[in-house]
Chain A
Amino acid sequence: MHDDDSDLDETMPPAVAAAVAQLPAPTPPSPQEVRRIMDAVRRRHTAGRIFRRVGWISGAAAASLLIGALLVTPATHPPVAVPASGGAKPVVRFKLKAPLAKQLALVGDFNSWDSHATPMTRDAATGAWEVSVTLPEGRYLYAFVADGKRWLPDPEAPLASPDDFARQNSVLVVTPHPVSATVQ
């Protein structure tokens, strides 16, 4: 180390070399310092082993998230209520992109949460599932059920509160003059 420093000394400007010369000579670490450093190294080594073990769990979790992301991607817009004329009830169109789902159903207050009552149809080209439902004015809770077992809130709609049964619902408000968010 000192040899390397000697080589550098030859290229140093005189002012820098003078400043370096003023620095105190290096002193060997005390036994306490050595013990502290070695303890830190051992802790880091142990942490590394733990992280390697946790890595399998993290990998599995990441894979699950990836599969989930592939299964469901946000729809292009929240539910759209189309105002009906002549006093008829508005027709609400629900849409969800779930390209990997084999079946998708709409469940909610309006169909007694029956996963067989309102199946959705898939657009093979886009992977988007759609269904239109005639709903009177009101506030509704709803969700999607993929393949009869996976409950999904609508990623584009307001969230309901609270999460009573450990599965989140979405909210839809149907008014006489339906509104929806502008989607860019």
Chain B
Amino acid sequence: MNTYRQLRIQSLFRAAVASFFVAFASSAGAQGGSARGASSAAALIAGWPAIDRADATALLDSAGSTGLPVAPLRAKIAEGIAKDAAPATIVNVVRALYGGLRTARQTLGARVSEPELVAAAAALQSGVTPGQLRALRATMPADRSATELFVVLTDLTHRGITAEEGVNALTRLARAGANDATLVQLRFDVAKDVASGVPAQNAVSRRTNDYVARGTPPPDDLLPPPEPDGR
């Protein structure tokens, strides 16, 4: 925490310098990837209140100094600005993402790829616990990316599946040798089933059972149409 405070104080000065730099020497920032990244982040938040600018800069600096990817945090700032969110709101969202990234790395280890780390952070922010994340990751070979697995899990939680149900279904699929194409197909089919009125839990359960039993994605029309609800 002390490190964060120190970085925040330093960032107040750094943000002011960066703003000046961006205003009068932006063309010089186009030298090299890191310089371009720093100047683009500073440019994004140049018009913010000093306190929010300092917080955002501290988070970016902290991520960079601890080996977390900075690009997703910077992209989140850009997204917030594009969506007309208030600076304080954006800082809170970036802080939450920073926390998710840090927890994801603690859970999955330092060697995890950036896409997998970001996908894992999103899953954590959707209610998946670090223990569930670790268990799900363990179902796949270490040399294979679990990015798609985490993306599908996050999507399922958005469609009414609990984290536990999603983890259980994907664990069964992964242990049955499902590849990324099967995971993508599962998500696609479940979304379609839910849109046609099938309860999400039923859709995931039946699709998973069929995948595991057949070893391949089932025909598209395997699920019966939803039953009328009595009205």
The yes or no verdict on A and B being binding partners is: yes
Q: Does B107 contact A (CB under 8 A)?
A: no
Smallest CB separation, A135 vs chain B (Å): 11
Cβ of A141 under 8 Å from chain B: yes
Contact with B along A166-184 (1 / 0, CB 8 A): 1101010101000111111
Q: Is the CB of A181 within 8 A of B75?
A: no
Is B103 at the interface (CB under 8 A from chain A)? no
Asked whether A4 is an interface residue with its Cβ less than 8 Å from the other chain, the reply is no
B148 within 8 A of partner (CB): yes
B76 lies within 8 A of chain A by Cβ:
yes
User: A161 near B148 (CB under 8 angstroms)?
Assistant: no
Task: Please state if A161 and B123 are interface contacts (CB–CB under 8 Å).
Answer: yes
- B142: Cβ under 8 A from any A Cβ: no
- Residues facing A in B18-63 (CB within 8 A) are 40
Is there contact, CB below 8 Å, between B83 and A151?
yes
A68 in the interface (beta carbon within 8 A): no
B122 CB to nearest A CB, Å: 5
Quick check: A165 and B85 within 8 Å, CB to CB?
yes
Size bin of chain A's contact surface: 20 to 34
| Chain B minimum-CB-distance residue to A179 | B181
Within 8 A of A (CB), among B50-104: 71-72, 75-76, 78-83, 85, 89-90, 93, 96
Q: How far is the CA of A104 from the CA of B77 in the complex (A)?
A: 22
- When C-beta atoms are compared, the residue in chain A nearest to B86 turns out to be A165
Task: Give the Cβ gap from B203 to chain A, nearest Cβ, in Å.
Answer: 14
B72, B75, B145, B155: the one within 8 Å of A175 (CB): B145
User: Is A112 close to B, CB under 8 A?
Assistant: yes
Main secondary structure, interface of B, reads helix
Given known contacts A113-B78, A165-B79, A139 and B220 CB-to-CB distance under 8 angstroms: no
State how many residues of chain B have any CB contact under 8 Å with chain A: 47
Contact with B along A136-166 (1 / 0, CB 8 A): 0111010000000001000010111110111
Please name all residues of chain B whose beta carbon is closer than 8 Å to the beta carbon of A184 when the two chains form the complex: 220-221
Chain A contacts for B115, CB-based, 8 A: 137-139, 173
Say whether B167 faces chain A, with CB atoms less than 8 Å apart. Answer: no
Whether B125 and A112, one on each chain, are in contact in the complex, defined by CB atoms closer than 8 angstroms, is: no
CA distance A115 to B184 in the complex (A): 28
Contact flags A87-120 to B (C-beta < 8 A → 1, else 0): 0000000000000000000010100111100000
Chain B residue with minimal CB distance to A138? B115
Q: Are A167 and B151 in contact (CB under 8 A)?
A: no
Within 8 A of A (CB), among B151-208: 151-152, 154-155, 157-159, 179-181, 184-185, 187-189, 191
**Residue of B78, B118, B155, B220 touching A112 (CB-CB under 8 A):** B78
Residue on A nearest B92 in the bound complex, by CB: A164
B130 on the interface (CB 8 Å rule)?
no
B179 to chain A: which residues have CB within 8 Å? 179
Name which of B78, B116, B152, B179 has the most chain A CB atoms within 10 A of its CB: B78
Question: Nearest Cβ distance between residue A123 and chain B, in whole angstroms?
Answer: 23
B133 within 8 A of partner (CB): no
Tell whether A141 pairs with B154 under 8 Å between CB atoms, given A161-B125, A165-B85.
no
B144: min CB distance to chain A, Å: 11
Q: A161-B123, A167-B83 are in contact. List 6 more A-B contacts (CB 8 A).
A: A112-B78, A158-B151, A158-B154, A165-B89, A173-B151, A182-B185
- A interface vs B, CB < 8 Å? 78, 107, 109, 112-115, 137-139, 141, 151, 156, 158-162, 164-167, 169, 171, 173, 175, 179-184
Contact sample, A vs B, 10 pairs, CB 8 Å cutoff: A139-B118, A158-B152, A161-B157, A161-B158, A165-B79, A165-B89, A171-B119, A179-B148, A181-B187, A182-B217
